[in-house]
């Protein structure tokens, strides 16, 4: 029996430690992993917990991220609680198996420490890998700080493993800015955390020999479409309610409130930034500063990136006059993903604000208070004019002459 770890009421943990502690407390049966910067410490901490007697489960060291996710698929199909961690190139190598996991409806938890994709090689944080996963059929939750990385990892098990959901869940955090920044984190005790996550209840376990099942079958034009449609329908209809239910249960336990779409000062906001990751907190701080300058600024941030919270985003932005969608990933020949999703969400609504797109922070480029101020000022001008006063897509924090399109 694993030993319990004594934790302080307030720990100073970086996002990696927060995620690895959540995995430990969830009493995962199998972690199959191949470490990669900046998520390495998640599995490194986890293996040291195991070596020190704090974990009963299996830790399988494999030869690649493809094998890591394959091991997770096997263990999950066998009937165990399963998790792993990755970033960037490792995430890209897992991509094939990500679709296998979700298609087989295996509730694996993947803690993703977001990092840029090569080339050029870069170990720092942007959202390229998170965006790469957005059509993979996983549920994607996004943490903006270390506390949230801890909280959401615990909640991910309860969301994905529910028998009405049975889908894998990614919990994202920003590489280095969250993963390697030590901050105040309030953990639950081991007993409280495990009681919240709950005992794993297998469904169609391959190791249940009394009831033989198969995973990973072939279906051609006869049934493939029906399987994919059912998965999509569950993502579109069942996940939101379950996420809300788990968020509410978590608030009851800890007092920490989560929403599918987080809103900051949106009651009377006229202009809003929509963003993901740590940028949300920086933007919130700046929104408050802008109010002292007379600009009614707010921030909207999807806590749930997939399934995309279409209705919640529409509602959150139902009163604003101008919106900036901030994408931390190169769209490589398109407008940014957040821009496209937000614009689609608002197009069917009654409110039609001016919407512009900013590309920023690639490869860990700093997103500063001054950048956020500049964006809010441009939004203010857009709101007053009722049309874009800037190009539709602008690059922020880029060296050299200003780059913009449309």
- Residues in contact with other proteins by CB under 8 A are 10, 12, 14, 123, 174, 176-177, 180-184, 278-279, 281-282, 284-285, 366-369
Could you tell me the smallest distance in angstroms from the CB atom of residue 306 to other proteins? Answer: 23
**In whole angstroms, how close is the CB of 262 to other proteins at the nearest point?**
13
In this structure, what token pair is assigned to residue 88? Answer: 């960037």
- Are 361 and 398 contacting, i.e. CB atoms less than 8 angstroms apart? no
Q: Report the residue number, 10 or 236, with the smaller CB distance to other proteins.
A: 10
* Shortest Å distance, C-beta 361 to other proteins: 10
Q: Which is nearer to other proteins, 6 or 199 (CB)?
A: 6
d(CA 231, CA 103): 7
Nearer residue to other proteins within complex by CB, 6 or 350: 6
Q: Closest CB to other proteins among 20 and 382?
A: 20
- Which lies closer to other proteins via its Cβ, residue 41 or residue 160? 41
Q: DSSP string spanning 301-321? A: EESEEES--HHHHHHHTSS-S
Closest-CA residue to 353 (of 377, 328, 325): 325
With respect to other proteins, which residue has the nearer C-beta, 153 or 278? 278
DSSP assignment letter at 260: S
What SS3 class is residue 117? coil
Shortest Cβ distance from residue 163 to other proteins (Å)?
37
Nearer to other proteins, 12 or 236 (CB): 12
Rounded to the nearest whole angstrom, what is the least distance from the CB of residue 280 to other proteins in the complex?
9
Residues for the chain: how many in total? 406
How many Cβ atoms from other residues are within 10 Å of residue 48's Cβ? 13
Q: Rounded to the nearest whole angstrom, what is the least distance from the CB of residue 285 to other proteins in the complex? A: 4
Q: What's the closest the beta carbon of residue 177 comes to other proteins, in angstroms?
A: 5
Supply the DSSP string of 329-387, one letter for each residue.
S--SSS--HHHHHHHHHHHTSS---EEEEEEE-GGG----HHHHHHHHHHHHHHHHHTS
Closer residue to other proteins, CB minimum distance, 117 or 246: 117
The two three-digit tokens of residue 20, written as one number: 């690895």
Query: Are 84 and 110 in contact, with CB atoms under 8 Å apart?
Result: yes
Distance CA 335, CA 25 (A): 41
Which C-beta is closer to other proteins: that of 5 or that of 205?
Answer: 5
79, 71 Cβ separation under 8 angstroms: no
The distance of closest approach from Cβ of residue 148 to other proteins in the complex, given in angstroms and rounded to an integer, is 12
- Going from the C-alpha of 348 to that of each of 267, 304, 354, the distances in angstroms are 21, 21, 14
Task: Find the shortest distance in angstroms from Cβ 153 to other proteins.
Answer: 20
| Cα 355 from Cα 197, distance rounded (Å) | 39
Output the six-digit token pair for 33: 């992993």
| Cα separation, 225 vs 208, whole angstroms | 28
């Amino acid at each position: 029996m694993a030993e319990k770890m004594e934790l302080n009421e307030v720990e100073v943990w970086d996002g990696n430690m927060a995620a690895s502690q959540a995995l430990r407390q969830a009493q995962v049966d199998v972690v199959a992993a191949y470490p990669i910067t900046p998520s390495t410490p998640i599995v490194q901490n986890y293996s040291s917990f195991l070596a020190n007697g704090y974990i009963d489960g299996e830790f399988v060291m494999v030869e690649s991220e493809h094998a890591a996710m394959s091991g997770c698929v096997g263990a999950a199909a066998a009937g165990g609680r399963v998790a792993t961690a990755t970033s960037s190139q490792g995430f890209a190598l897992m991509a094939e198996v990500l679709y296998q996991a979700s298609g087989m409806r295996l509730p694996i938890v993947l803690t993703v420490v977001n990092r840029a994709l090569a080339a050029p090689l870069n170990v720092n944080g942007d959202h390229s890998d998170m965006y790469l996963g957005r059509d993979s059929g996983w549920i994607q939750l996004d943490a903006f700080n270390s506390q949230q990385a801890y909280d959401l990892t615990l909640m991910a098990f309860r969301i994905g493993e529910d028998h009405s959901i049975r889908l894998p869940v990614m919990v994202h955090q920003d590489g280095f800015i969250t993963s390697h920044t030590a901050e105040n984190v309030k953990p639950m005790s081991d007993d409280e955390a495990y009681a919240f996550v709950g005992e794993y209840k297998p469904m169609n376990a391959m190791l249940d020999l009394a009831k033989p099942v198969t995973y990973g079958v072939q279906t051609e034009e006869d049934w493939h479409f029906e399987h994919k449609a059912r998965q999509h329908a569950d993502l579109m209809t069942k996940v939101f309610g379950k996420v809300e239910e788990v968020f509410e249960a978590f608030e009851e336990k800890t007092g920490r409130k989560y929403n599918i779409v987080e809103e900051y000062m949106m009651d009377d906001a006229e202009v809003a930034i929509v963003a993901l990751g740590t940028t949300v907190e920086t933007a919130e701080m700046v929104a408050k500063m802008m109010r002292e300058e007379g600009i009614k600024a707010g921030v909207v941030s999807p806590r749930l990136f997939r399934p995309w919270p279409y209705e919640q985003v529409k509602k959150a932005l139902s009163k604003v006059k101008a919106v900036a969608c901030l994408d931390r990933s190169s769209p490589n020949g398109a407008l940014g993903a957040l821009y496209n999703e937000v614009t689609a969400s608002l197009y069917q609504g009654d409110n039609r604000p001016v919407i512009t797109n900013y590309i920023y922070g690639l490869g860990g480029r700093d997103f500063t208070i001054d950048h956020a101020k500049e964006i809010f000022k441009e939004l203010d001008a857009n709101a007053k004019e009722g049309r874009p006063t800037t190009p539709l897509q602008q690059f922020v924090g880029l060296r050299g002459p200003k780059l913009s399109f449309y």
